[in-house]
A and B are shown apart, each in its own frame.
Chain A
Amino acid sequence: TCKHFSLQEAYCEYLRIIHFLSYALLEEATSQSKNCVFQTNLFCARVISLITVSPSDTSVVSSPKSSSPTKKHRRVLSDGGGPSSSFIPPEVFQQLQTLKLQDSGKKELTPIEEASRLNQKLKANYEARLARLTPGQAYQKTSLTLSLQRQMMENLVIAKARQDALQRKMEDRRLRLQEEANRRFAASGAMTAEEQEQRILYTNVLEYEQDHDWPKLWKAKIKMNPDNMNLMSELVSCLFSHSDHPVVKLLRKLQYCIYNELYPIVSTSVQSPGVEFRPSLSSQNLQEQGPIHFTVLSLSFCVLCISDQLLSLCLLSFECLNTATSKDLCLASIEEAFFTPLWSAVMALFRKVNREREQAFVASVRLYRDASPADFGVPLKLFPPEGRSPQGSYPYQSAVQELKLVIKDCCPQRKLDCIVRTLRLICACAEDYRCLHEAESAPKTAAIGADDLLPILSFVALRSQCPQLVSECAALEEFIHEGYLIGEEGYCLTSMQSALSYVETLHTGTSHLGT
């Protein structure tokens, strides 16, 4: 199945929720004035305007508009609690991303850069020769100096002329390519902002293809083997490895926008769960949580818009990718490239939102960390008989270890794969344990249904002792495409969430272990 979604539907849904939430927040705000409500409203307004209205400039981030929100954030920070050191400021984040960009792409020198490099060499030569002059040859110094100055000046003048010519050529080319883009999207009356944006992006792609050969070579290769899926997947990873390609540049720009918005929220102190535990939401807490839920909502909508926009740019760059399977490949690459540097900030946001739930999880772990699978209602035949576990290990240990890896990865899809592996390991272990009990009976279909799976999964979740899983799963649900969630991955994520919710309720004593 193709994960492609209808953006319009998603947008309507988003507006409906915003409508509902802003009504609720308004009610709340009329009783006490709340600045932060306004603050988070700005979040989506800013990001959405960035994505939908002014995406014209794909040359990464140096545009002045990106600097103004940053200033605002500083002010917010000095108003609120002190900044914590765990997150780098957006400017540094941007620099780091750009640095990676330059590392991987060899950059050609402009004529002026070339000339000044040459001049530096000349100057070094000149200094070396001066040093070798004997006192008697001092008269040569003047002529050497003059000659150096003349040479350096000439080099610069020539370079300047070359640069100007080059620039004129580039401008001509840009105009020509713009016309080509206009022809491709035949104009029908007035252009919408979206159409305009698409043209500009397409012009950037054309311009890139003038300077680089690999897109042409790839297109030819795909034309020869149009049905080769391996080739498609190679093309997609090739595209995302070229950090100077318009697709990757746009991705970096949008990534920076999101980080810029997340930073002020997540860099204020986060209390780690387990320090104190309050069993119920106080009314004050609800007020803090309202706007932050709003942020999660805006974020997931923005991510949806962003992947849609990046996907259409991929398809503009390579028409051959316009099939359901190739689109999935693109979306997966977009997701991985987009989330990897952002995940720790995203996670900090989700951990703030889910703090109460994580605390409940911790409380249950404290109470039941030594419980056995039997205490969770796992039938005796599905865990090793007393004393049959290898020294120092406990039942389903391999599944617990796999589950702990979820928080190590930074890409939603890979995290989801990790959860799927955990459930499969549980099934494999269950089968092994059953064989221990029924050594001689022929191996029947030792299939475990949800009646057995859920208790075991709850045991495994608790033994992982990892409250962050609660927030990780909540984030996965938000960011994994719906089309994926009908399949095995969706089933595993749903079961994982059920097991976690169950563990959260354990410490209250209302749900009994076992039976």
Chain B
Amino acid sequence: LVMAAGGTGGGKTYSFKVVLLGEGCVGKTSLVLRYCENKFNDKHITTLQASFLTKKLNITGKRVNLAIWDTAGQERFHALGPIYYRDSNGAILVYDITDEDSFQKVKNWVKELRKMLGNDICLSIVGNKIDLDKDRHVSVEEAESYAESVGAKHYHTSAKLNKGIEELFLDLCKRMMETAQAEERLKGNGVSQSASNRRGVQIVDDEPLATPAGGCCSSG
């Protein structure tokens, strides 16, 4: 009964699906694990461990449920990518700054994602292992200008030193919320959508008895 009614997103929870792409050995798994370890101890990690993780966030007063889907980086599983990233709201594309080849793979994924999902998906390109900067093989300028050219954001992270990870996820969430809100406004203005809302965000009206989540994050 305390729920604010009427305002956009007042009593709503956003559910976002984020898919994690990157060649084997670029450190995708360590990245997500780091992100979760910061907030929780190990027992909170779901029994699927590092492959599928969920996280509840509270961003500018709005609740967000994040589902992070890890994918296999090996070449032989690439053909199966589309069934993982369909209906995704965001993608995190990880490369290893010491491995130029892994950056090339990121470019291929970007092409594929844009082709299959259009501009609605929020892309984050992540140069991991910045602790190994002396062995860098992908220049910062090249990576950042590439990201800009494809409408993605670029981040520098180190799973080992726990650098840049929190910002990466927080920023991605904010962008996904903006996209979702823009979509809502479009709907509200009566502009009909060409395709069904299959891919879109799932916005769930709260039940009257649900109480607003207290603190920032808790694992599901």
Chain A residues proximal to chain B, CB less than 8 Å: 1-2, 6, 9-10, 12-13, 16, 227, 323-325, 377, 423-424, 427-428, 445-451, 453-455, 482-483, 485-488, 491-492, 494-495, 497-498, 501-502, 505, 511-512
Distance A7 CA – B142 CA, assembled complex (angstroms): 47
Distance A470 CA – B43 CA, assembled complex (angstroms): 34
Shortest beta-carbon distance from A441 to chain B in Å: 15
Contact of A501 among B47, B48, B71, B79 (CB under 8 A): B79
Distance A488 CA – B71 CA, assembled complex (angstroms): 14
Closest to B30 in A: A449
B 54-95 binary contact with A (CB < 8 Å = 1; else 0): 100000000001010111111011011001100100000000
Chain B contacts with A in 163-220, Cβ cutoff 8 A: 196-198, 202, 204-205, 207-209
Residues of B within 8 A of A323 (CB): 207-209
Q: Which of B51, B87, B198 has the most CB of A within 10 A?
A: B51
Q: How many A-B Cβ pairs are below 8 Å?
A: 118
8 cross-chain CB contacts under 8 A: A6-B197, A10-B196, A13-B196, A323-B209, A450-B70, A482-B198, A485-B87, A491-B51
Distance A453 CA – B29 CA, assembled complex (angstroms): 12
Distance A448 CA – B69 CA, assembled complex (angstroms): 13
Tell yes or no: B119 within 8 A of A by CB.
no
Contact of A453 among B42, B51, B54, B197 (CB under 8 A): B51
Residues of B within 8 A of A325 (CB): 207
Closest to A512 in B: B76
Tell yes or no: B33 within 8 A of A by CB.
yes
Whether A424 lies near B196 (C-beta < 8 A) is: no
Residues of A within 8 A of B72 (CB): 450-451, 453-455, 498
Contact of A448 among B50, B204, B208 (CB under 8 A): B50
Residues of A within 8 A of B17 (CB): 486
Residues of A within 8 A of B15 (CB): 1, 486
Whether B29 lies near A494 (C-beta < 8 A) is: no
Whether A486 lies near B87 (C-beta < 8 A) is: yes
Shortest beta-carbon distance from A9 to chain B in Å: 5
With known contacts A454-B74, A512-B76, A427–B48 Cβ distance under 8 A: yes
Distance A497 CA – B83 CA, assembled complex (angstroms): 9
Chain B contacts with A in 22-64, Cβ cutoff 8 A: 24, 28-29, 32-33, 37, 42, 45-52, 54
Whether B46 lies near A450 (C-beta < 8 A) is: no
Residues of B within 8 A of A487 (CB): 54, 67
Whether B29 lies near A424 (C-beta < 8 A) is: no
Distance A511 CA – B80 CA, assembled complex (angstroms): 13
With known contacts A427-B48, A488-B52, A494-B84, A449–B28 Cβ distance under 8 A: yes
Distance A455 CA – B65 CA, assembled complex (angstroms): 29
Residues of B within 8 A of A12 (CB): 196
Closest to B78 in A: A511
Whether A498 lies near B67 (C-beta < 8 A) is: no
Distance A495 CA – B83 CA, assembled complex (angstroms): 9
With known contacts A9-B196, A482-B198, A488-B46, A501–B80 Cβ distance under 8 A: yes
Closest to A506 in B: B76
The 6 A-B pairs of least Cβ separation, nearest first, read A449-B29, A447-B50, A454-B72, A447-B49, A450-B70, A498-B80
With known contacts A445-B42, A486-B87, A1–B48 Cβ distance under 8 A: no
Distance A482 CA – B196 CA, assembled complex (angstroms): 13
Contact of B51 among A449, A455, A483, A501 (CB under 8 A): A449
Residues of B within 8 A of A505 (CB): 79
Closest to B89 in A: A486
Whether B51 lies near A495 (C-beta < 8 A) is: yes
Whether B52 lies near A491 (C-beta < 8 A) is: yes
Contact of B70 among A449, A455, A482 (CB under 8 A): A449
Closest to B76 in A: A511
With known contacts A427-B47, A451-B29, A495-B51, A9–B197 Cβ distance under 8 A: yes
With known contacts A445-B33, A487-B54, A451–B198 Cβ distance under 8 A: no
Residues of A within 8 A of B54 (CB): 487-488
Shortest beta-carbon distance from A417 to chain B in Å: 13
Whether A498 lies near B76 (C-beta < 8 A) is: no
Shortest beta-carbon distance from B10 to chain A in Å: 17
Contact of B24 among A9, A427, A451, A482 (CB under 8 A): A451
Residues of B within 8 A of A485 (CB): 87
Residues of A within 8 A of B76 (CB): 377, 502, 511-512
Residues of B within 8 A of A483 (CB): 202
Shortest beta-carbon distance from B116 to chain A in Å: 15
Whether A445 lies near B48 (C-beta < 8 A) is: no
Residues of B within 8 A of A377 (CB): 74, 76
Whether A498 lies near B50 (C-beta < 8 A) is: no
Residues of A within 8 A of B196 (CB): 9-10, 12-13, 16
Whether B47 lies near A448 (C-beta < 8 A) is: no
Residues of B within 8 A of A511 (CB): 76
Whether B50 lies near A449 (C-beta < 8 A) is: yes
Closest to B27 in A: A449
Residues of A within 8 A of B28 (CB): 449-451
Closest to B24 in A: A451
Contact of B49 among A16, A427, A498 (CB under 8 A): A427
Closest to A487 in B: B67
Distance A320 CA – B196 CA, assembled complex (angstroms): 31
Residues of A within 8 A of B48 (CB): 423-424, 427, 488, 491-492
Distance A485 CA – B17 CA, assembled complex (angstroms): 10
Residues of A within 8 A of B208 (CB): 323
Residues of A within 8 A of B209 (CB): 227, 323
Shortest beta-carbon distance from A508 to chain B in Å: 12
Distance A485 CA – B67 CA, assembled complex (angstroms): 11
Distance A455 CA – B24 CA, assembled complex (angstroms): 12
With known contacts A495-B51, A501-B80, A502-B76, A324–B207 Cβ distance under 8 A: yes
Distance A215 CA – B196 CA, assembled complex (angstroms): 39
Residues of B within 8 A of A482 (CB): 198
Closest to A495 in B: B51
Distance A449 CA – B20 CA, assembled complex (angstroms): 11
Residues of B within 8 A of A512 (CB): 76
Distance A486 CA – B28 CA, assembled complex (angstroms): 20
Residues of B within 8 A of A423 (CB): 48, 51
Supplied contacts A323-B209, A449-B51, A488-B48, 7 more A-B pairs, CB within 8 Å: A427-B49, A445-B45, A448-B50, A450-B29, A454-B77, A488-B52, A498-B84
